[in-house]
Structure 1
Amino acid sequence: MTIGERIKKRRKELGLSVDELSEKLGKNRATVYRYESNDIEKLPTTVLEPLAKVLNVSPAYLMGWVEPTKTNIIKYPSEEDVNKAISEDEPLLVLISFDGKTAIMSHIDEAVEHHVLLMNVGYKDTDIDKFFRIVLDKSGADWTFVCPPDYKNIPFKDKRIEAFYKDGFTVISDFLHSIGYLVGINIPKRYRRHLNVLGDDSNL
Structure 2
Amino acid sequence: MVRRLTRAMLVVTLASSALTAGATGLIAYRLLLAGEDRRLRDAAVDLVEESAGMGAAEAAAAAHDEQKELAAFGIHIALFSENEWLGGATGIPIHDGCDWSPLPGNSGVRLCGVRGHGHLAVAMERLESIPLLRLSLPLAALIAAGCAALLSLGVSRRVARWAARPLTELSEALSRIEPGGPLPAPLHA
Q: TM-score, normalised by structure 1?
A: 0.20
Greater helix proportion: 2
When Rg is computed on C-alpha atoms for both structures, the one with the higher figure is: 2
